[in-house]
Amino acid sequence: MSEAIAGIGVFRTARAGVPQWSRRILAPVVILCALLAIWSIAATLVNPSPAAAAAGIWPSNWWNPRPTLPSPPQIAVATWTGLFGYPVTSPRSLIYHAAVTLEAALAGFGLAAVLGTALATAIVHVRLLDRGLLPWVIVSQSIPVLATAPMVVVAMGYMGFSGLLPKAVISASLAFFPVTIGMCKGLRSPQTVQLDLLRTYNASGRQVFWALRWPSAIPYLLPALKIAMALAITGAIVGELPTGAQAGLGARLLIASYNGLMLLMWATLIVASLTAGLAVGALALLERALPRFRLPA
């Protein structure tokens, strides 16, 4: 038991900022390798060996062209070919499809960030919106907004919009809620005494906003934006599922699904994950670059 507590103590200090680089990098890498090893073994057990033991690369079960569980090396090769095996303008290039999806996701993300911040500002200042609308914004977190994606595509197609815009709208409709709620919390985070202080200066609503509410909200904004970015990318991918979109990771996934192309599914999935990881990682870097302050206790 003492060991467990000591262990947690170690973790706490790590979180408190004492750099434990080796361990912080090493642990996930070791775990990842272990998972890949288990996976590889499973792949040898699950996949039948191809009739013509191809290329003589051992073990041949890893290279079955129609695998049940593709082996990690096989997925790696498929992903690599998808990314770099074709010119980026080719409809077989995953870079091309990732760019199509990312474009829509970023457009939706930008829209959501602006609208969400604006709505949160309005909610904080207008009592009617605070009491009438905010409860619905909170409830809407529990309803599957993504289910409306096919409808948005069809309705916007009817109005003559196709391609990027419907997907961006779907992305924005998902990303919008966390931004709004995060910003509402952030703009409300100043303590009463801080607000009272500004009242003693007879500060105007606008002055209170820029001198207190906005800077207090920044620590809430970036985590919300990271969630919003992840949702925007999911939204763009799901927006590509209905009505047979030609391009984008979602379309690629659907084609793979219809044709039972296991390897293409995995490759697309990995590229989608990398895209999301990079986009959210960029925001994490931005978060680090911003000046940090401790919130009042």
Partner 1 sequence: MPDSPHAETLDIETTQPREQARAAVVSVENVAVSYPSREGVFHALSDVSLRVARREFISLIGPSGCGKTTLLRLIADLAQPSTGTIRVNGGTSRQARGDRSYGYVFQTPALQPWRTALANVMLPLEIIGLAANERRARATAALMAVGLGDAASRYPWQLSGGMQQRVSIARALSLRPELLLMDEPFGALDEITRDKLNLHLTDLWRDRDLTVIFVTHSIPEAVFLSTRIVAMSAKPGRISRVIDCGLPRRRTLDIRNTPEFLAISKQVRDALSDAYANE
Partner 2 sequence: MSPATPLAVLALAATVGIAALMALTRLANRPGRAAAILTPMLFAVLVLFLWEVLTRGLAVPQVLLPAPSVIARAFWNASPELLQDVRQTVLFAAIPGFVCGSALGMVTGIAVDRSPFLQQGLLPLSSFASVIPIVGVAPIMILWFGFGWQSKAAVVLLITFFPAFVNMVAGLREASPIERDLMASYASTYWQTLWKLRLPAALPFLFTALKVNASLALIGAIVAEFFGAPVYGLGFRISAEIGHLALDRVWAAIAVAAAVGSGSYALLTAAERAATFWHPSQLPGSDRNS
Under DSSP, the state recorded for 212 is: I
Whether the Cβ atoms of residue 167 and residue 227 lie closer than 8 Å to each other: no
Regarding 289 and contact with partner 1 (CB under 8 A), the answer is no
Task: Indicate whether 223 belongs to the interface with partner 2 (CB under 8 A).
Answer: no
Indicate which single residue of 111, 121, 266, 267 sits in contact with partner 2 (rule: CB under 8 A). Answer: 266
Name the segment binding partner 1 (CB under 8 A); options: 76-84, 150-158, 181-189, 199-207. Answer: 199-207
- Report 20-39 residues binding partner 2 (CB under 8 A): 23-24, 27-28, 30-32
Tell which positions 200-219 bind partner 1, by CB under 8 A: 200-203, 207, 211-212, 215
Based on its alpha-carbon atoms, the radius of gyration of the chain, rounded to whole angstroms, reads 24
| Residue 291, binding choice from partner 1, partner 2, none, Cβ under 5 to 8 Å by partner class | partner 1
- Looking only at residues 221 through 280 of this chain, which bind partner 1 when binding is defined by CB under 8 A? none
Q: Report DSSP letters for 243-276, one per residue.
A: GG-SSSHHHHHHHHHHHT-HHHHHHHHHHHHHHH
Distance from CA of residue 227 to its chain's centroid?
Answer: 6
Residues 56-75 binding partner 2 (CB under 8 A) are 68
User: How many residues form the binding site for partner 2 (CB under 8 A)?
Assistant: 71
Crossing angle of helices 214-239 and 149-158, in 10° steps, is 80
Could you tell me the two tokens for 118?
A: 């604006």
Q: How far apart are CA 142 and CA 144, in angstroms?
A: 7
- 268 touches partner 2 (CB under 8 A): yes
- Taking CB under 8 A as the criterion, the residue among 1, 51, 196, 285 binding partner 1 is 196
